[in-house]
Structure 1
Amino acid sequence: MSVESVSTEALRLTSCRVHEAQGGGRRSFALLQAARHAGPLIWVLSAYAPHLPMLRGLPDGLGHRLHIVRAKTATDLLWAVEEALRSSPVGLVIAEPEKPLSLTAGRRLQLAAEAGKTTGLMLIREGQGSNAAETRWNCAPLASGKRDSTPHRWGLIKNKRGTLKTWTVHWNGATAAFNLVSETGE
């Protein structure tokens, strides 16, 4: 399998906007994005979420910047995300809503991201995207016999400012660096 290095611009989320990721690999995608953003990181989950990000499995230094917020209701979750997005020192806000966002809620989050100059990433279930999202990613882990990295297929399935594309990447989960697998190597 041929692997080529990728510029830091590949798979970068547009700043000051809210994006969405769906699929079984959405948390890995979120962790890569978290490693690529400087400053404090806010991860907002429902108080009843069955799984939390594993602090020991995070990329180096990420656990010290990560703040987890547990919201009791869907309204509290959206309020926490909006307030975090308005906070300019925050580098990235990740949230896992249980229900689809309305167009109004999605637009409010976009305005908050613009006001705070902060990037947001909503981890959604398939088919629960908001029309207000800047981009939507479909993220899936791929089976592999290697133990040093996990291959993923990350596809841009909605993009308000560009083309759609799918990448197969190898990411070891330890840093913000990753390798792109060339199309001929698949």
Structure 2
Amino acid sequence: MIGIPLGWAYSNFGEWVLHKHVLHGLGKHRRSFWSFHWHEHHQKSRRHDMVDDQYMRSLWTWSAKTKELVALAALALAHAPLLPVAPFFVGTVWACAVNYYRVHRRAHLDPAWAREHLPWHYDHHMGKDQNANWCVTHPFFDLVMGTRSEFLGVQPPAPPEALVVAPAHVA
């Protein structure tokens, strides 16, 4: 059972490391596979008050959404060999990967929800410094590593009715 809290902490640290060093580090180079994060996802989010319409696209298009899903599936698959010896750890890592996609997607389709439930992620995209607030699902490792910077409180609140995007089709 110790695998559950270890899997959660490992996953949160993984969010922090991968977001900071892969998605922002390697992702700033246009020729990198990871460039979708900085050059598509961040630009759309910044221009459209946190909304990234790629989350409304079909799963059968090669977009930032499908690249994110492929990366999460690859990470989940990479942990599969540990399943026989650490089932609770692996199960937690897999659950965290599903949760990551679920909350990240919702945050970019419903910014009012993100402001309330994931203010650290909202701050990551909409704050002055997009090179802070690396965690998405929970700010634990941002707090541990000293990279949590609050911007939400210094911005004027947006009217909630202007923030919600109702997807025509949710995949």
TM-score (norm 2): 0.27
Return the TM-score normalized by structure 1: 0.25
Larger RCO (CA under 8 A, 6+ residues apart): 1
The structure with the largest helix share of the pair is 2
More strand by percentage: 1
